[in-house]
């Protein structure tokens, strides 16, 4: 026979599990975050004239995302916005095309997508250029911001103006080291882009990657500030390591930043990030 205490803990466990896995979560009025099977988080905005979605990730994620949208509204899905070109974010577009959505990407991402086919990638219907485009739907304005090269091509920062909710793909992940080690990442430009993001009016930000216990709750511009500070601290630590006499070729592996030890991926990515900073300082940016 199950004891009262045992029953209570099972009930508590179920309530806890439900609280953590509730999907989607309404983070602001009509704005939802959704986490798919690969832990990536997307965002969607429900208006009186339809739904706007940010980042399809892949087909399995997109199918769950469409089901999540239909669980909260009968409005049609009108727009799918890509944050950037990378295949691990830009797959699944066909799922939204089948729903009648128009797919939009920054022209730099669009051109890359056309040139680099992938079985799960659908070339967007529309592209936009420059540093800003607004999508107006049902009395709401979704601002799309581009601050130049930083990570991949055409990196776009969407902000829903009235509700002041932003969305950031790979540039910042709360409680986690950023990863800026691939050839199409540039650290100086990432720094400039993060400074640009801090000029945007946001109260809440949903992040694709979020190492907090409940990633669907998103975070704030403080997470952007923290990542910017990490980047500056890492550059300073690398310079100090070399100034102390460590040969430059050994310095990236020798750097330690205890302040960030509690962040996810500290052991795995710190030296990789230090190498990227050192190489960019030595060879020049991408």
Under the rule (CB under 5 A), what is the footprint of Zn ion? Answer: 86, 152, 170
- The least CB distance from residue 240 to Zn ion, in Å, is 30
Other beta carbons within 10 angstroms of residue 88's beta carbon come to 14
State the nearest-atom distance from the C-beta of 231 to Zn ion, in Å. 17
Q: Which is nearer to Zn ion, 170 or 223 (CB)?
A: 170
Q: CA–CA separation, 252 vs 235, rounded Å?
A: 10
State the Cα–Cα distance between residues 62 and 133, nearest whole angstrom: 24
Nearer to Zn ion, 47 or 122 (CB): 122
User: Shortest Cβ contact with Zn ion: which residue?
Assistant: 86
Sign (positive or negative) of CA dihedral 144, 148, 149, 154 = positive
* Rounded CA separation 46/53 (Å): 9
Q: How far apart are CA 63 and CA 73, in angstroms?
A: 16
Question: By C-beta, is 35 or 47 nearer to Zn ion?
Answer: 35
Q: Please answer whether residues 120 and 92 qualify as being in contact, where contact means their C-beta atoms are separated by less than 8 angstroms.
A: yes
Tell me how far apart the alpha carbons of residues 58 and 9 are, in angstroms, rounded to a whole number: 37
- Min CB(243)–Zn ion separation in Å: 33
Nearer to Zn ion, 170 or 189 (CB): 170
The maximal CA–CA distance of the chain, rounded, in angstroms, is: 70
Identify the bridge partners of residue 158 per DSSP, sorted by sequence position. 144
Report the nearest approach of Zn ion to the CB of residue 256 (Å): 27
Tokens of residue 14, six digits? 């179920």
Q: Which residue's CB is nearer to Zn ion, number 61 or number 86?
A: 86
Minimum CB separation of residue 23 from Zn ion in Å reads 23
Residue 153 near residue 112 (C-beta atoms within 8 A): yes
C-beta of 199: minimal distance to Zn ion in Å?
A: 22
* Residue closer to Zn ion (CB basis): 47 or 186: 186
The set of residues, in sequence order, having a beta carbon less than 8 Å from that of 215 and lying 6+ positions away, is 33, 35, 39, 41, 207, 209
User: Closest separation between CB of residue 64 and Zn ion, Å?
Assistant: 20
Residue among 45 and 171 whose Cβ is closer to Zn ion: 171
């Amino acid at each position: 026979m199950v004891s009262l205490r045992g029953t209570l803990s099972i009930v508590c466990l179920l309530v806890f599990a439900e609280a953590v896995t509730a999907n989607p979560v309404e983070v602001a009025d009509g704005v939802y975050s959704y986490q798919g099977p690969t832990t990536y988080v997307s965002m969607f905005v429900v208006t009186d004239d339809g739904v706007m979605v940010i980042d399809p990730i892949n087909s399995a994620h997109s199918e769950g995302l469409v089901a999540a949208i239909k669980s909260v509204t009968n409005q049609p899905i009108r727009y799918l916005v890509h944050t950037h070109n990378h295949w691990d974010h830009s797959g699944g577009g066909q799922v939204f095309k089948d729903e009648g959505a128009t797919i939009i990407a920054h022209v730099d991402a669009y051109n890359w997508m056309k040139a680099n086919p992938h079985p799960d990638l659908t070339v967007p219907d529309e592209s936009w250029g420059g540093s800003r485009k607004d999508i107006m739907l049902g009395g709401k304005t979704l601002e799309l911001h581009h601050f130049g090269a930083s990570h991949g091509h055409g990196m776009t920062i969407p902000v829903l103006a009235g509700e002041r909710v932003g969305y950031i793909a790979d540039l910042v992940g709360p409680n986690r080291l950023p990863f800026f080690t691939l050839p199409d990442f540039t650290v100086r430009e990432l720094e400039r882009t993060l400074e640009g993001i801090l000029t945007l009016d946001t109260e809440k930000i949903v992040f694709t990657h979020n190492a907090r216990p409940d990633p669907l709750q998103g975070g704030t511009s403080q997470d952007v500030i923290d990542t910017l500070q990490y980047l500056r601290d890492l550059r300073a630590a690398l310079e100090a390591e070399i100034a102390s006499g460590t040969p430059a070729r050994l310095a990236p592996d020798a750097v330690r930043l205890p302040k960030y030890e509690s962040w996810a991926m500290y052991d795995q990515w710190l030296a990789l990030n230090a190498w990227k900073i050192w190489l960019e300082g030595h060879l020049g940016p991408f």
